[in-house]
Structure 1
């Protein structure tokens, strides 16, 4: 095959292996992502319980009181076997988090229409709770929620506003809604944590990040270790546990390694590349009105 043909093939693999709603993200400094079973901080584990994965309906099979989510691995999708989490399942398109009894926040580009709302379920506990790694993950049926309606949604290419507030098909009774900022701005340089589903993976927690650019009113930028699939993830103040914003976009997440013939996560220094953008939660006006 010619070099041009190899490039075309690599681009084809990249195009068809990523979730439709994915917006690129990247690794800054060391890769700080970890599974819940590797997390020793009980506060972060409690926050993770109130985060959810957006799973397309065709990837789920219901049997009795459980739902099995069918996934492929990152390696199946062309990621190098040496990459972190290469053997982990990937099934989620986006991430979200609970902010009320039946209210969930995600990215605006994840839920653009009622068809998007109806075409997927929101799954709490899509995670590895032990070191046993499987392609398919089974959760309790009670942990799976439909999207009843879009309460508020905005996706603006001009000012970069990107969020959605949706109503679930029933109240969540076994998890606490997350606390969120209702006024003001996060401090520049403040340490932050993100919890969500990078590249559609089961829940990953990533810290050791901070606010790099805090000048805008719509969003701030940070050096979070996030990927497509993290869109809609809650970004927490590492000191208070309060939600500061919604992860929405960032740097290219994978690059092709010609020596290995597969893709690897893009690496940046903590101060390098473009940074990851986080819509300020205070811009979700319907949520702010409910909080007051």
Structure 2
């Protein structure tokens, strides 16, 4: 439960390592069978996508060690008093959000992950926080080439904030941020976004990110539930806090369709006195919310060789009277 997780974290002395944002805001959960997979379990195409995703860390949790950096983590099970049979119970957690490389030095995430330039500059962006072999440990010692600083917020929007109204007739809306890194990552390819035909109910999708701040996981076997909302769609993705900002991919085209931003409860109290992951039938629960990529596609540079979208496939139904433009959203942010 959100309150349970919040209280557990507040009781800890290590809040600098795991920001409250990771678990208290916009919880997510498991639908049907848990479909999450480790990096080493992915096929070559999936690994190529995962290699261009990132985890977000407080600067205090990333310390220089020799020529590289060490990520400060804590034990997942111990931190949340997880039940003994909880999946990934003994793995480390530490990241507070997820994201994806969509330009040479441009990372896409959720707007609630990075709210100000000051927070941006106090955030480290890390590639390859994952587990690379069966029985192996998470990669918590990173070369300098995998660790970046958030230089500035390029575009940001969070529906419901001052001057960023929710779409007419909706209690929720879009949630996104584009941030610039302090330098261009070497050997990393920006991910392709969908600029053409839209998803529809029942289409297959998958997500790559860091649930609860864990090493990278890919969760597939998910489908779009509702694509009718302005600014976002709902799906049955297996995600948690920490997945916020994760890229959501089209299972067929492997292009990004959106950003994971909200969902159902993460955890519940077990009668045994421990904490269990919240689970629902495949079609149960409220579902997980994904900001539609069409809302911010105009701010993401086209990849080399990317063709223009045919006129008949261009996205046309984003109501500018309902969703504030990114410039308006940026003006609503207080950069202390």
Q: 1: CA distance between counterparts of 2:268 and 2:19?
A: 16
Residue 287 of structure 1, CA deviation: 2.1
Contact 2:145 2:186 in 1 (8 A): no
Among 73, 76, 80, the alignment partner of 1:74 is: 76
Q: How does 1:1-292 map to 2 (within 5 A)?
A: 12-13=7-8, 19-22=19-22, 23-39=26-42, 41-77=43-79, 78-134=81-137, 137-157=140-160, 158-159=166-167, 160-259=173-272, 261-284=273-296, 286-288=298-300, 290-291=301-302
Deviation string 1:236-255 (CA, Å, 9 cap, x unpaired) is 00111100000000000111
Aligned to 1:3: none
Q: 1: CA distance between counterparts of 2:11 and 2:200?
A: 39
Q: 1: CA distance between counterparts of 2:19 and 2:58?
A: 10
Contact 2:131 2:139 in 1 (8 A): no
Deviation string 1:111-151 (CA, Å, 9 cap, x unpaired) is 00012201111100011112345477111110011111100
Contact 1:114 1:149 in 2 (8 A): yes
Greater percentage in strand: 1
Residue 16 of structure 1, CA deviation: 5.2
Deviation string 1:189-240 (CA, Å, 9 cap, x unpaired) is 1101100000000100110001011111300100000000000000000111
Contact 1:110 1:116 in 2 (8 A): no
Residue 258 of structure 1, CA deviation: 2.6
Deviation string 1:66-115 (CA, Å, 9 cap, x unpaired) is 21112111112122231000000100000000001000000000000012
Q: Considering only aligned residues, what root-mean-square deviation do their CA atoms show, in Å? A: 1.9
How many residue pairs get aligned? The number is: 282
More displaced stretch, 128-137 vs 76-85: 128-137
Structure 1, unmatched stretches of 5+, are 1-7
More displaced stretch, 77-86 vs 233-242: 77-86
Contact 2:58 2:124 in 1 (8 A): yes
Q: 2: CA distance between counterparts of 1:168 and 1:32?
A: 31
Q: 2: CA distance between counterparts of 1:283 and 1:112?
A: 18
Residue 64 of structure 1, CA deviation: 2.4
Change over 3 Å in CA distance of 1:25–1:145 after alignment to 2: same
Change over 3 Å in CA distance of 1:103–1:61 after alignment to 2: same
Contact 1:71 1:91 in 2 (8 A): yes
Q: 1: CA distance between counterparts of 2:200 and 2:11?
A: 39
Change over 3 Å in CA distance of 1:258–1:186 after alignment to 2: same
